[in-house]
A and B are shown apart, each in its own frame.
Chain A
Amino acid sequence: MEFIQDLMNYGFLQKALFTSIMVGILCGVIGCFIILRGMALMGDAISHAVLPGVAISFMLGINYFYGAVVMGLLTAIGIGYISQNSRVKSDSSIGIVFSAFFALGVLLITKASTAIDLTQILFGNVLSVRTSDMWLTLIIGAIVLLIVILFYKEFLITTFDPTMAQAYGLPVRFIHYVIMILLTLVTVASLQTVGVILVVAMLITPASTAYLLTNRLSTMIFLSAFFGALSAVIGLYFSSEYNLSSGAVIVLATTSIFILAFIFSPKQGILWRMIREKKNKASI
């Protein structure tokens, strides 16, 4: 319970806790739409591709947020453009675009090597969250959650049955780009906590865990947000108590929860599945 006492005493730890919980919730919510739309790779791509944006912002002396958002969107548009205007399949165009952006980012950051620490951006360090970062995360979080709540119905139908959505006149492609924007925002908010490389785990793993446990999208979103936040707390605890990399610990926490669901989920879990199969065999 030393951790709780530390929390009371140290402002940086409070900021870290608040920010990482927020990130866990955001990634959990957006992650549900990402995995159901089959865009897990896209999440990976955008998170890597914000790197040059961070570097350029730094060179220009502006908040890294702006550069990152611009680069994230360019990536989403670039990927869509290549796969729609050539025979190159979408997973390949994702690979082409994001690795190019990432490579560019690495060069820019090492050239502008003064103050940004590449490792910190790549792997995150939640304990170094500043007050301004915390506010940024809070504002991004409020915007993202508000949009998801307001347009839940539209997100649901364009994810499940885009053809019907298009047939009754919804701007399906526009909504796709709105989700890309939200994804970029969430990624940027997660930079400090889990870092560029591991954001994808926060997006995909809690959502996939929730997917194994429920047959309702709304429940899935709540569960996913809960698992995201829980992993963030667990991760922060181990990271601060044992001086471990926060991103890595948080990701391993999400993975552990996923493994539990994978084995024990009442409907999808491999354990019950095995038991059911045995019963079936016995009854024959």
Chain B
Amino acid sequence: MGKALTVDHLHVSYYGKEVIKDVSFSINTGKLVGIIGPNGAGKSTIMKATLGLIPKDKGNVRILEKPLKAVRKKIAYVPQRNNLDWDFPINVIDTVLLGTYPHLGLMRRPNAKQKEWAFQCLKEVGMEDFSKQQIGELSGGQQQRVFLARALAQKAELFFLDEPFVGIDVSSETTIIKILKNLCDKGKTVLVVHHDLTKVEDYFDELILLNKELVEYGPVQQVFKAETISQAYQANLSILKKVGVSM
């Protein structure tokens, strides 16, 4: 089993304020990994820094045992939903088709083969009946499924999803997690920024517990314990019991 992602002594700051302090971990391929931690813990930031979307101060990131530049096209990133213009004149199938762009190269247009592939990806998330709808007309869960379909269309090895389950319906959430688990079974690696602690144990193989520094990284059973969680959240234990953290 190879390494999917290795982060080595990573430091990131925003406007002079350090938001990621000396974080190191190394993830094997084929894992479904949750990144959890309180608000402002730097969950999205660490994802963006890993992808080279924001500059890092110090540290080294290797993806699939190579530097980021060499493997950019093997990564699919699904950003938070609120960062997009949902009034953009684009329909569902064309949005999924964007996923084929990275492999097309400059100046080449998608042809029938790419369109067929995009449609298959759309089918996989169960959204094929909506292919001609404008993306703003969909519900939050449907939008998230379309963007997952776009990520699938990228034929990536690594999938990064930033808060995919925020504000979506239960059936979309079930569909999405099923597809993510399926990807891992095929040897792909999936990282998910997640802030709801309730379903963590059902969803993920491993957890990265973050609060600016790395609190702990490891298999879910090892990380998802009252002491470690409360250390990161600095919350009292009775609240944690309510959300089902094992004592």
A contact residues vs B (CB 8 Å cutoff) = 36, 150-154, 156-157, 159-161, 163-164, 166-169, 211, 214-217, 219-220
8 Å CB contact of B88 from A36, A151, A169, A219: A36
In the bound complex, residues from chain A placing their C-beta under 8 Å from that of B79 are 161, 163-164
A216 touches B106 (CB 8 A): no
CB distance from B203 to the nearest CB of A (A): 23
Take A164-B79, A168-B72 as given contacts and tell me if A215 and B90 are in contact as well, using a CB distance cutoff of 8 Å: yes
Take A151-B107, A160-B88, A215-B134 as given contacts and tell me if A167 and B98 are in contact as well, using a CB distance cutoff of 8 Å: no
A160 touches B90 (CB 8 A): yes
A157 touches B98 (CB 8 A): yes
Nearest residue (CB) in B for A87 is B15
Taking the complex as formed, is B247 at the interface, i.e. its CB lies under 8 A from any CB of chain A?
A: no
In the bound complex, residues from chain A placing their C-beta under 8 Å from that of B101 are 153, 157, 168
In the bound complex, residues from chain A placing their C-beta under 8 Å from that of B85 are 36, 160
B89 touches A211 (CB 8 A): yes
In the bound complex, residues from chain B placing their C-beta under 8 Å from that of A159 are 88
Take A163-B77, A166-B53, A167-B53 as given contacts and tell me if A151 and B106 are in contact as well, using a CB distance cutoff of 8 Å: yes
Take A215-B90, A215-B91, A216-B91 as given contacts and tell me if A163 and B83 are in contact as well, using a CB distance cutoff of 8 Å: yes
Nearest residue (CB) in A for B77 is A167
CB distance from B214 to the nearest CB of A (A): 23
CA distance A166 to B51 in the complex (A): 9
B contact residues vs A (CB 8 Å cutoff) = 51-53, 69, 72-73, 75, 77, 79, 83-85, 88-91, 94, 98, 101-102, 104, 106-110, 134, 154
Give 6 nearest A-B pairs by CB, closest first: A168-B102, A215-B134, A169-B72, A167-B77, A163-B79, A215-B89
In the bound complex, residues from chain B placing their C-beta under 8 Å from that of A152 are 109
CA distance A214 to B51 in the complex (A): 34
Nearest residue (CB) in B for A164 is B77
B109 touches A153 (CB 8 A): yes
CB distance from A261 to the nearest CB of B (A): 14
8 Å CB contact of A220 from B89, B94, B154: B89
CB distance from B138 to the nearest CB of A (A): 12
Given contacts A151-B107, A166-B53, A215-B90, 20 further A-B contacts (CB under 8 A): A36-B85, A152-B109, A157-B98, A157-B101, A160-B84, A160-B98, A161-B98, A167-B51, A168-B72, A168-B73, A168-B75, A169-B69, A169-B72, A169-B73, A169-B102, A215-B134, A216-B90, A216-B91, A216-B94, A219-B89
In the bound complex, residues from chain B placing their C-beta under 8 Å from that of A36 are 85, 88-89
CA distance A167 to B71 in the complex (A): 11
CA distance A169 to B89 in the complex (A): 24
Q: Which of A153, A166, A168 has the most CB of B within 10 A?
A: A168
CA distance A223 to B58 in the complex (A): 49
Q: Which of B51, B79, B91, B102 has the most CB of A within 10 A?
A: B102
Nearest residue (CB) in B for A37 is B85
B90 touches A217 (CB 8 A): yes
CB distance from A88 to the nearest CB of B (A): 15
CA distance A86 to B69 in the complex (A): 30
CB distance from A63 to the nearest CB of B (A): 31
In the bound complex, residues from chain B placing their C-beta under 8 Å from that of A215 are 89-91, 134
CA distance A220 to B87 in the complex (A): 13
Give 21 CB contacts A-B under 8 Å. A151-B106, A153-B101, A153-B104, A153-B110, A156-B98, A157-B98, A159-B88, A160-B90, A161-B84, A163-B53, A163-B83, A164-B77, A166-B53, A167-B53, A167-B77, A168-B72, A215-B90, A215-B134, A216-B90, A216-B94, A220-B89
Take A157-B98, A161-B98, A168-B72 as given contacts and tell me if A150 and B107 are in contact as well, using a CB distance cutoff of 8 Å: yes
CA distance A214 to B90 in the complex (A): 9
CB distance from A23 to the nearest CB of B (A): 23
A167 touches B106 (CB 8 A): no
CA distance A156 to B109 in the complex (A): 12
In the bound complex, residues from chain A placing their C-beta under 8 Å from that of B52 are 166-167
CB distance from A54 to the nearest CB of B (A): 34
B89 touches A216 (CB 8 A): yes
In the bound complex, residues from chain A placing their C-beta under 8 Å from that of B109 are 152-153
Q: Which of A154, A161, A166 has the most CB of B within 10 A?
A: A161
CA distance A150 to B53 in the complex (A): 26
In the bound complex, residues from chain A placing their C-beta under 8 Å from that of B84 are 160-161
In the bound complex, residues from chain B placing their C-beta under 8 Å from that of A214 are 89
CB distance from A40 to the nearest CB of B (A): 14
B89 touches A217 (CB 8 A): yes
CB distance from B167 to the nearest CB of A (A): 19
CB distance from A257 to the nearest CB of B (A): 18
CA distance A161 to B101 in the complex (A): 12
CA distance A237 to B98 in the complex (A): 43
